[in-house]
Amino acid sequence: MTILNGLALTRIPPEGEALRAEVRAFLQEAVKDIPAHIRAKSWSGYDPAFSRKLGEKGWLGMTFPKAYGGHEQGAFARYVVVEELLNFGAPVGSHWIAERQSAPLILKYGTEAQKQRYVPPVARGESFFCIGMSEPNAGSDLASVRTRAVPNDGGWLLNGQKIWTTNAEHCQYMIALVRTSGEPADRQKGLSQLIVDLSLPGVTVRPIEDMSGDRHFCEVFFDNVQLAPDALVGAEGQGWEQVTAELAYERSGPERLFSSVVLLDQWLAFVRSEAAPRADSIKLAGQILTRLAPLRALSVAVQEKLVQGQSPIVEAALVKDQGTVLEQFIPAAIADDLMAREGEGEAVPHALLLTLNYLTLVSPCYTLRGGTRSILRGMIARGLGLR
Amino acid sequence: MDHLITEALRDLLTGQCTPAVVRAIESEAAASAGASPTAAALWQQIEDSGFADLLLSEDAGGAGLALRDAFAVWDLLGQHAMPLPLAETMLARAWLAAAGVALPQGAIALAPQLAAADGGLRASGVRGARVAPWVLGQHGADVLLLPVAAAQASASIFVLDADLHWPASAVVSATRVPAPASLLVAQAGLVSALLAGSLLTVFESTLNFANERQQFGRPIGKFQAIQHELAVMAEHVSAARMAAQIACEADGVVADPLKVAVGKARSSEAAVEVAALAHSIHGAIGFTTEFDLQLHTRRLHLWRQTAGSESYWQLQAGQALLAADGMALDVIRQITDSSAPVA
């Protein structure tokens, strides 16, 4: 049993920790005037000026080759920067997908020309990508996508629709998973990944408002969009394998643990300010800490495996499912704690309630993005040999 | 951690600490405290192999292991439902040797909270006291090495445990040294590791059962509902095992209270969830005495109830988190950033 037995307590190596103090000092200044309920949006917070500042600091594309604008630093150095960004609730939404997924995908599967064209602006914090995977009626059943790109004299003619594409409204590009051959019944066969310039004629982006009032995900329509031949990333028909690898890397990072941490810190500050903290509040603080700390250790252990070149897909799913469950537990439990003060005549600060309300309304997405809970549990079951 | 040590221990436990042996020790202890020939035979094997002395310095005849190395040993004891207080003895011997006390023969159970009673001392629910000749107990700032034979003993809830009352005369003649740390913290740390091992065995045997047990014409593990229950079990087990490693993360033989709080709280939470899911998946057969599952799930509940349940340690961890200023991340880093050299 290597899956449950193979994750040893380790630590972020000193070269990974080296930047933490500098990043933290920068962030303390950068977010000091942003209220907590706005910081709580973090990875859906769109702020291109902030992304450019991070690019100038060299904190984007940290692991990319220098030839493509990167800094050739270790994965743990990036881990520390991301962890600090999320903990401060910095608005990382504009560059988030491009830096975390799209540029690494292009570096792995793209042509030399694609790497030179697309990657350096991502590292500078100037070029933003979204991911076109889901479609209406496809949802988690990604292999059933119907959006189709047909080869023609000009390259590819694209028709169809994507949905739940985060920040598409603000992005220059989408990497779309589309059918380039065969039929939806062929499932994983015949899928490819294409880079779509969202400014092209025939592309329509329509934001969808979520129940918190935010407009971070979008519908994107393709009506006879003509793409150049070099829109294809990787090999025709290999889109499924490429997407599977891509998803594995985004499931165990700090972003699966700390989505509710701005609220946690704000609530802790409130409880610390009380004359006599309630025993229930102390216990809840401990409950969260004693669940979160082992998960952070697991996340670091999975990162260590990635650094060693292993592919801990199931381990990452174990961390993601637990992390997102905890991320959803935090606002629910904090609401319970705060409202247990009813009748005690003690006012809960309005600013704290604003953050709580935002996370309460947005937290359903934690167990949807990057694979629903049911999909992840199915992946774990497969890793255990049950299917 | 020396791979040879864990492999040798695994061999010993696989051969000598079988479910049949665990059952025999439990039933002999139930019949007559302190008179289990099977327990005596198993203890002799352990004593001869030197495993009880692993935490002693090499000068003192041990292997000089730190708590972080002991995790792998205690984990194995948990995996095999060790019915004797061997993990406890390892720790007690290390503490006593460090204080210059001559080590007694035989297993040493732990009583982290000795209470004054009728001029003497008492302790309730002392784990393994029916199969150990000694108890190391904490009273105030001291630890005392007390012979079980000198106590008035009565049955406790778990078959291998006892409620003990030592008269004043036994207390006066006991070996007494200053406690190097909180015995409760120490016991909670080692019990986290025992839980981690038992959780792994319960998970693996439930997984095997799900692959073998046929219902409705196929193995029950082919049903999505069972698959998801096993996935949730795997999550609890992975988190608890990491938490227990954190609890044992120390250079010497004194555990860090905050790390122990994390380990004991999380492994105790997992114990309840995993035991319930295991029994649910096994159906009625898993609930029977003759089936081995109960040897472990009884221990999951027992160890969860030993040295503070999850609520106790959550309160301790919560106090530490609230006492710290700044971001929760910094307390988390203090807990998870192992001081061990990266391999």
Dihedral angle of Cα B42, B46, B52, B53, to the nearest 10 degrees: 160
Q: Sorting pLDDT into bands at 50, 70 and 90, what band is B340?
A: low
Angle between helices A313-339 and B224-247 (to 10 degrees): 80
Whether residue A157 lies within 8 A of chain B, CB to CB, comes out as no
Question: What is the token pair recorded at B144?
Answer: 């005392």
Which residues are registered as beta bridge partners of B123? B164
Share above pLDDT 90 across residues of chain A, in percent, rounded to a whole number: 80
Q: What pLDDT score does A137 carry? A: 87
> Chain A partners of B222 at a C-beta cutoff of 8 Å?
386-387
Q: Is B342 a residue whose pLDDT tops 50?
A: no
Cβ separation A293–B246 shorter than 8 A: yes
Of A7, A98, A90, A66, nearest to A303 (Cα)? Answer: A7
Question: What is the token pair recorded at B323?
Answer: 């006492």
Least confident of A301-315, B41-55, B72-86: A301-315
Match domain B183-336 to its CATH number in 2.170.150.20, 1.20.140.10, 3.40.640.10, 3.20.20.70. 1.20.140.10
Q: What pLDDT score does A243 carry? A: 87
Q: What pLDDT score does A39 carry? A: 96
What mean pLDDT do residues B110-132 have? 97
- Which of A20, A271, A273, A290 is the mutation pick for testing B, counting most B CBs within 10 A? A290
Whether residue A241 lies within 8 A of chain B, CB to CB, comes out as no
Q: What pLDDT score does A255 carry? A: 84
CB A178 within 8 A of CB A239: yes
Partner residue opposite B261 with nearest CB, options A4, A272, A290: A290
What mean pLDDT do residues A249-260 have? 83
CB A99 within 8 A of CB A124: no
What mean pLDDT do residues A25-47 have? 94
Can you state the percent helix, strand and coil of chain B, rounding each to 5?
60, 15, 30
Cβ separation B232–A377 shorter than 8 A: yes
What mean pLDDT do residues B283-288 have? 95
Distances (CA, A) of A110 to A122, A150, B228: 15, 20, 37
Interacting residues of A215 by C-beta distance below 8 A, sequence separation 6+: A169, A207, A208, A209
For residue B306, count other CB atoms closer than 10 A to its CB.
Answer: 23
Q: Sorting pLDDT into bands at 50, 70 and 90, what band is A44?
A: confident
Cβ separation B230–A384 shorter than 8 A: yes
Instruction: Give me the residues of B, 164-203, that contact A with CB < 8 A.
Output: 200, 203
CA–CA gap between residue A151 and residue A228 (Å, rounded): 10
What mean pLDDT do residues B284-312 have? 97
Taking the model in full, what pTM does it have?
A: 0.95
What mean pLDDT do residues B170-180 have? 97
CA–CA gap between residue A26 and residue A48 (Å, rounded): 17
Q: Is A249 a residue whose pLDDT tops 70?
A: no
Q: What pLDDT score does B339 carry? A: 66
Backbone torsions φ then ψ of A193, nearest 5 degrees: -110, 130
pLDDT digits (tens, 9 = 90+) for A89-111: 999 999 999 999 999 999 999 99
Q: Where are the domains of chain B?
A: 3-177, 183-336
> Chain A partners of B200 at a C-beta cutoff of 8 Å?
1, 4-5
Q: What is the mean pLDDT of chain A?
A: 93
Share above pLDDT 70 across residues of chain B, in percent, rounded to a whole number: 98
Backbone torsions φ then ψ of B143, nearest 5 degrees: -115, 145
Q: What pLDDT score does B57 carry? A: 93
Of B103, B116, B153, nearest to B131 (Cα)? Answer: B153
**Domain architecture of chain A: domains with CATH:** 2-127 (1.10.540.10), 131-237 (2.40.110.10), 253-383 (1.20.140.10)
Q: Is B199 a residue whose pLDDT tops 90?
A: yes
What mean pLDDT do residues A354-362 have? 96
Of B201, B282, B151, B233, nearest to B22 (Cα)? Answer: B201
> Chain A partners of B327 at a C-beta cutoff of 8 Å?
87, 261, 265
Cβ separation B231–A284 shorter than 8 A: no
Query: Which residue of chain B is at minimal alpha-carbon distance from A1?
Result: B204
Cβ separation B242–A9 shorter than 8 A: yes
Q: Which amino acid is at B114?
A: L
Q: Which residue has the higher pLDDT, A309 or B81?
A: B81
Q: Which amino acid is at A53?
A: K
pLDDT digits (tens, 9 = 90+) for A1-21: 578 888 899 999 999 999 999
Q: What is the mean pLDDT of chain B?
A: 96
What single-letter DSSP state applies at residue B32?
S
Q: What pLDDT score does A183 carry? A: 84
CA–CA gap between residue A259 and residue B171 (Å, rounded): 55
Q: Sorting pLDDT into bands at 50, 70 and 90, what band is B343?
A: very low
pLDDT digits (tens, 9 = 90+) for A172-230: 999 999 999 988 888 889 999 999 999 999 999 999 999 988 888 899 999 999 999 99
Cα–Cα–Cα angle for B299, B300, B302, nearest 5°?
60
Least confident of A8-12, A80-84, B264-268: A8-12
Whether residue B293 lies within 8 A of chain A, CB to CB, comes out as no
Q: Is A248 a residue whose pLDDT tops 80?
A: no
Partner residue opposite B338 with nearest CB, options A9, A84, A376: A9
Q: What pLDDT score does A345 carry? A: 66
CB A257 within 8 A of CB A303: no
Q: What pLDDT score does A324 carry? A: 93
Instruction: Give me the residues of A, 7-36, that contact B with CB < 8 A.
Output: 7-13
